[in-house]
Amino acid sequence: MDKSVEMNADTIMENVKMVLNHMKKNPPLQDLNRKLIMAIVAFQTAAVASPAFADTEKLTAQNLSGPVSYSQFLEGI
Protein backbone atom coordinates (compact mmCIF):
# COMPACT_ATOMS: atom_id res chain seq x y z
CA MET A 1 0.00 0.00 0.00
CA ASP A 2 1.58 3.25 -1.17
CA LYS A 3 1.03 6.14 1.25
CA SER A 4 2.93 8.76 -0.72
CA VAL A 5 1.34 12.16 -1.03
CA GLU A 6 1.65 14.46 -3.99
CA MET A 7 2.60 17.93 -2.76
CA ASN A 8 1.39 20.83 -4.83
CA ALA A 9 -0.03 24.27 -4.06
CA ASP A 10 -3.57 22.96 -3.64
CA THR A 11 -2.68 20.24 -1.13
CA ILE A 12 -0.48 22.65 0.82
CA MET A 13 -3.31 25.20 1.05
CA GLU A 14 -5.77 22.49 2.10
CA ASN A 15 -3.41 21.43 4.89
CA VAL A 16 -2.87 25.02 6.03
CA LYS A 17 -6.64 25.57 6.16
CA MET A 18 -7.07 22.33 8.11
CA VAL A 19 -4.46 23.41 10.67
CA LEU A 20 -5.99 26.87 11.03
CA ASN A 21 -9.45 25.38 11.56
CA HIS A 22 -8.04 23.00 14.15
CA MET A 23 -6.34 25.91 15.93
CA LYS A 24 -9.64 27.84 16.04
CA LYS A 25 -11.37 24.92 17.77
CA ASN A 26 -8.58 24.10 20.24
CA PRO A 27 -8.19 26.64 23.12
CA PRO A 28 -4.61 25.62 24.11
CA LEU A 29 -3.49 26.13 20.51
CA GLN A 30 -5.28 29.48 20.40
CA ASP A 31 -3.34 30.56 23.48
CA LEU A 32 -0.05 29.32 22.00
CA ASN A 33 -0.77 31.10 18.71
CA ARG A 34 -1.55 34.33 20.55
CA LYS A 35 1.68 34.09 22.54
CA LEU A 36 3.74 33.37 19.42
CA ILE A 37 2.25 36.34 17.60
CA MET A 38 2.92 38.60 20.59
CA ALA A 39 6.53 37.38 20.75
CA ILE A 40 7.06 38.01 17.04
CA VAL A 41 5.60 41.51 17.30
CA ALA A 42 7.74 42.28 20.36
CA PHE A 43 10.89 41.03 18.63
CA GLN A 44 10.17 43.03 15.47
CA THR A 45 9.45 46.16 17.50
CA ALA A 46 12.67 45.78 19.49
CA ALA A 47 14.71 45.13 16.34
CA VAL A 48 13.35 48.19 14.55
CA ALA A 49 13.33 50.50 17.57
CA SER A 50 16.93 49.88 18.62
CA PRO A 51 18.98 52.90 17.58
CA ALA A 52 22.20 52.64 15.65
CA PHE A 53 24.98 54.68 17.24
CA ALA A 54 27.64 56.25 15.07
CA ASP A 55 31.08 57.22 16.31
CA THR A 56 30.50 60.98 16.22
CA GLU A 57 34.03 61.81 17.39
CA LYS A 58 35.55 59.96 14.45
CA LEU A 59 33.08 61.53 12.03
CA THR A 60 33.80 65.08 13.19
CA ALA A 61 37.55 64.40 13.30
CA GLN A 62 37.50 63.34 9.65
CA ASN A 63 35.24 66.30 8.71
CA LEU A 64 32.87 64.16 6.66
CA SER A 65 30.50 66.89 5.62
CA GLY A 66 31.11 66.44 1.89
CA PRO A 67 31.49 63.41 -0.36
CA VAL A 68 32.63 60.27 1.44
CA SER A 69 34.74 57.47 0.01
CA TYR A 70 33.59 53.89 0.44
CA SER A 71 36.43 53.10 2.84
CA GLN A 72 35.56 56.16 4.96
CA PHE A 73 31.93 55.06 4.94
CA LEU A 74 32.88 51.58 6.17
CA GLU A 75 35.13 53.04 8.87
CA GLY A 76 32.25 55.23 10.02
CA ILE A 77 30.02 52.23 10.33
Is the per-residue pLDDT at 3 higher than 80? no
Mean per-residue pLDDT for 61-72?
A: 70
- pLDDT by residue (tens digit) across 17-30? 998 888 888 888 88
**Per-residue confidence (pLDDT) for residue 55, from 0 to 100:** 58
Residue 59: which residues within 8 A CB-CB, separation 6 or more? 76
Cα dihedral sign, 53-54-58-61: negative
The total number of structural domains in the chain stands at 1
The reply to whether 3 falls in a domain is: no
The reply to whether 21 falls in a domain is: yes
**Per-residue confidence (pLDDT) for residue 70, from 0 to 100:** 84
CA dist 17 and 23 (Å) reads 10
The reply to whether 50 falls in a domain is: yes
The reply to whether 47 falls in a domain is: yes
- pLDDT by residue (tens digit) across 27-61? 888 888 889 989 999 988 887 776 666 556 665 55
